[in-house]
Amino acid sequence: MAVKRSGVTRLYSAGRVAFRSIGDLTEREKKYLLNEVLLVKGLMQLLMKPRNKQRWTPEDRAELRVHLRRLSNISPYLIVLAMPGSFLMLPALAWWLDRRRNRPGLGAPG
């Protein structure tokens, strides 16, 4: 015979599952960010070549493109980490982006 679970027990269980999934998400994103940052090694030396009166070779330019694409993928993380108070501004930023998307005449959906 199955035992009925009370609402509190179900709520507690759902909270544990949600907390675990948030923890997994955080861990996955942390690993992704760390991996991307480690792959950008050598970017400063590459950027300083023209300043040191050296020219970029075609291989340097290709590597520079790869580094810049990689940085553009993690730029939202960098903005939140680098700008003072930016973490507190995330709700305002989300509202503003949504407001722009729903403005008539700008190719808004619907």
pLDDT tens per residue, range 12-34: 777 788 778 777 877 887 788 77
Least-confidence region, from 27-41, 47-61, 74-88? 74-88
- Rounded Cα–Cα distance for residues 34 and 36 (Å): 5
Q: With residue 66 as reference, give the H or E element that holds it.
A: helix 58-82
Environment class of residue 77 by beta-carbon count within 10 Å: exposed (0-12), middle (13-18) or buried (19+)?
middle
Tens digit of each residue's pLDDT (9 = 90 or more) over 88-101:
766 776 776 676 66
Average pLDDT over residues 42-48: 86
pTM over cut 0.85? no
